[in-house]
Amino acid sequence: MTAHVRRADEDADDLDVEEALALVKELPDRTPGPRTPAPSPHDRSPEEERSGAHRHHHATAWTEARAIAGRAPRHGTGSRTGYLTPVAVPLASALGLTLAAPLTALTDLPSFDTSAMDGWAVSGPGPWDVRDKGVLAGHGEHAPLTDGEAVRIATGARIPSDTTAVLRSEHGRMDDMGRLHATAATRPPHTVTHGQDIRPRGQECRSGDHLLPAGTPVSPPVLGMAAAAGYDTLSVVPRPRADVFVLGDELLGEGLPHDGLIRDALGPLLPPWLRALGAEVTAVRRVGDDEQALYEAITTSDADVVVTTGGTAAGPVDHVHPTLRRIGAELLVDGVQVRPGHPMLLARTKEDQHLVGLPGNPLAAVSGLLTLAEPLLRTLAARPAPEPYTLPLRDAVQGHPYDTRLIPVAVRGERALPLLYNGPAMLRGIAAADALAVVPPGGARPGEEAALLDLPWASGGIGVCFT
Ligand SMILES: Nc1nc2c(c(=O)[nH]1)N[C@H]1C(S)=C(S)[C@@H](COP(=O)(O)OP(=O)(O)OC[C@H]3O[C@@H](n4cnc5c(N)ncnc54)[C@H](O)[C@@H]3O)O[C@H]1N2
Ligand code: MOO
């Protein structure tokens, strides 16, 4: 256990955000080895460069790779939009999905003339004789008022016909004769204006009015609006179903690393992240480094998106490429000019199924998730693209000579603070981050604006985005 971890355990109550950040901002000098491997164009030998043993020559530029992933479902199914076939779901299941049809009012709102206040429905100028029996919300029609008559009424109750206004309870006074008067507190004093505090039928909408367009994300107020407007179910684009296959014989599901075995970090990381990106995770399976098991897992999956982790490179047990060749998949993206994560790939395995091959290094897998899986899932689910935004970087970031870099950053005030521990095999930086900064080839100077990719829980909160 490191000094930092002991400290966090002992003083858990005092550990504020800044202190937590210090754990990924400063390099303790006690540990050997670099925390931020400097990316180098020379990480392959000149022979490798010439031989083409690596896949860099196929690599797609980062922005183009995202665009290809976003367009992929349209080309696969030939559907103009690329999103999944809409379904009708009960309101309680629609949160976070996208409306597949415009929300059209099924009723006038309000659907009857309604009192906006607790008080009296009055007819004509006062003073008024008050009826014995009042009018409560949720009750049927009451007898029409006659001129000079008033009746007690509750907020939301149906207005009796021939009511001219509602007098709020705090604006009325009973005299000794049991007659109701408007007090000096009304505007103008001692009178009621025609129509005052009555919500007329259809004030918000008429039956048939378009309330929201198709494509609107279903938020809590959209659910409320739909219920008010008479809906029990909504026509929505369903969540894309995603199967996750975790490759690697070296992975442990629990306990401490031992004998060359390490913990599977992606099994726990990917399913909730995919859900936050709008997917329904239908399976998470470990398939080891077994080519036949991978082949069977992919060919028997009926998910919309298959996500594999590991096995994308050119090692002896890197089975993703050979398996894709075996099933005749169409490679849409085979390597991306991005660090970490450059061996990531996107393939069309069936007309209506895509496979995202994430590299095994955990931060490289995150890079692949945001570069390829996010735009693919967004199109399938018809989710709107997030508004792009930039922030100035507080510190310089060393760039890769040719590739885009994705760097975990913490957002503090109006600046993005690059975090350390951003190597492909490390999660320590991203675990403390609010976003990933997109650093162009060549790097960025202090104060330079960088595009940011938000991490869904950093802004919305866990409960909001993991629905
Ligand atoms: N000759 C080359 N070797 C490598 C290249 C290359 O271009 N040529 N690229 C390197 C880069 S960059 C990356 S990233 C990795 C990608 O490797 P794979 O996708 O084939 O992944 P693996 O080899 O299976 O694993 C890499 C690394 O990650 C660990 N790993 C795998 N799965 C998990 C998991 N679920 N949880 C935690 N850690 C995991 C695995 O043990 C390895 O250490 O290839 C480089 N090599
Ligand atoms: O640089 Mo790799 O793409 O380690 O992630």
Report the alpha-carbon distance of residue 370 to residue 374 in Å, rounded. Answer: 5
Nearest ligand, CA of residue 37?
Answer: 2
Task: State the residue for tokens 């982790």.
Answer: 309
Q: Which runs of consecutive H residues, i.e. helices, occur in 302-434?
A: 320-326, 362-368, 374-381, 428-431
Mutate to test the pocket of ligand 1, among 361, 371, 400, 405 (most ligand atoms within 8 A of CB): 361
**Helix H or strand E segment including 130:** strand 128-130
Report the alpha-carbon distance of residue 151 to residue 134 in Å, rounded. Answer: 6
Q: Is 143 in contact with 160 (CB distance < 8 Å)? A: yes
User: Which atom, in ligand 2's list, is nearest to the CA of 338?
Assistant: 3
pLDDT of residue 316: 87
Report the alpha-carbon distance of residue 297 to residue 335 in Å, rounded. Answer: 23
Report the alpha-carbon distance of residue 369 to residue 272 in Å, rounded. Answer: 12
pLDDT tens column, 300-339: 999 999 999 999 988 888 899 999 999 999 999 999 999 9
Nearest ligand, CA of residue 253?
Answer: 1
What interface predicted TM-score (ipTM) does this complex get? 0.97
Q: Is 306 in contact with 242 (CB distance < 8 Å)? A: yes
Cα-to-centroid distance, 372 and ligand 2 (Å):
15
pLDDT tens column, 357-370: 999 999 999 999 99
Report the alpha-carbon distance of residue 1 to residue 244 in Å, rounded. Answer: 32
DSSP string for residues in 331-347: EEEE-EEEES-TT-EEE
Q: Is 329 in contact with 322 (CB distance < 8 Å)? A: no
pLDDT (average), residues 235-259: 97
Q: Is 379 in contact with 83 (CB distance < 8 Å)? A: yes
Could you tell me the two tokens for 74? 């349209």
Is the CB of 240 within 6 Å of ligand 2?
no
User: Which atom, in ligand 2's list, is nearest to the CA of 423?
Assistant: 4
pLDDT of residue 91: 98
Q: Which residues pair with 355 in a beta bridge?
A: 306, 347
Q: Is 35 in contact with 341 (CB distance < 8 Å)? A: no
Report the alpha-carbon distance of residue 16 to residue 202 in Å, rounded. Answer: 51
Cα-to-centroid distance, 261 and ligand 2 (Å):
20
Cα-to-centroid distance, 358 and ligand 1 (Å):
9
The pair phi, psi for residue 58, each rounded to 5°, is -85, -15
Q: How sure is the predictor about 188, in pLDDT bands with cuts at 50, 70 and 90?
A: confident
Could you tell me the two tokens for 446? 């202090």
| CB half-sphere exposure, 380, CA atoms < 13 A | 26
pLDDT tens column, 422-435: 999 999 999 999 99
Q: Is 94 in contact with 218 (CB distance < 8 Å)? A: yes
pLDDT tens column, 120-167: 999 999 999 999 888 787 777 778 999 999 999 999 999 999 999 999
Cα-to-centroid distance, 314 and ligand 2 (Å):
13
Please measure the distance between the N-terminal and C-terminal CA atoms of the chain and give it in whole angstroms. 35
Task: State the residue for tokens 């470990």.
Answer: 286
pLDDT of residue 17: 53
Residue nearest to atom 26 of ligand 1 (CA): 360
pLDDT of residue 76: 66
| CB half-sphere exposure, 79, CA atoms < 13 A | 14
Mutate to test the pocket of ligand 2, among 40, 266, 337, 339 (most ligand atoms within 8 A of CB): 339
Cα-to-centroid distance, 353 and ligand 2 (Å):
26
Mutate to test the pocket of ligand 2, among 36, 309, 361, 436 (most ligand atoms within 8 A of CB): 361
Tell me how far CA of residue 106 lies from CA of 86, 169, 184, 206, 410, in angstroms.
20, 33, 42, 8, 46
Cα-to-centroid distance, 374 and ligand 2 (Å):
19
Q: Which runs of consecutive H residues, i.e. helices, occur in 341-443?
A: 362-368, 374-381, 428-431
pLDDT (average), residues 265-274: 97
Cα-to-centroid distance, 360 and ligand 1 (Å):
4
Q: Which residues lie closer than 8 Å to 67 by C-beta, 6 or more apart?
A: 375
Task: Sketch out the chain's domains with CATH numbers.
Answer: 3-41+387-465 (2.40.340.10), 58-78+239-381 (3.40.980.10), 87-102+209-237 (3.90.105.10), 112-200 (2.170.190.11)
pLDDT tens column, 372-402: 999 999 999 999 988 889 999 999 999 999 9
Residue nearest to atom 3 of ligand 2 (CA): 341
pLDDT tens column, 26-42: 554 444 444 555 444 44
pTM of the model: 0.85
Residue nearest to atom 4 of ligand 2 (CA): 424
Q: Say how many residues make up the chain.
A: 467
Nearest ligand, CA of residue 286?
Answer: 1
User: Which atom, in ligand 1's list, is nearest to the CA of 341?
Assistant: 14
What is the dihedral sign for C-alpha 241, 246, 312, 427?
positive
What is the dihedral sign for C-alpha 27, 428, 369, 309?
positive
96: left (phi over 0), alpha (psi -120 to 50) or beta: left
CA 62 to chain centre: 22
Three-state DSSP state, 398: strand
Cα-to-centroid distance, 361 and ligand 1 (Å):
5
CA angle 422, 438, 60 (to 5 degrees): 100
Report the alpha-carbon distance of residue 63 to residue 246 in Å, rounded. Answer: 26
Cα-to-centroid distance, 90 and ligand 2 (Å):
43
Report the alpha-carbon distance of residue 184 to residue 454 in Å, rounded. Answer: 56
Classify residue 142 as exposed, middle or buried by CB count within 10 Å of its CB (0-12, 13-18, 19+).
buried
* pLDDT above 50 for 233: yes
Q: Is 338 in contact with 399 (CB distance < 8 Å)? A: no
User: Which atom, in ligand 2's list, is nearest to the CA of 340?
Assistant: 5
Q: Is 42 in contact with 400 (CB distance < 8 Å)? A: no
pLDDT of residue 35: 52
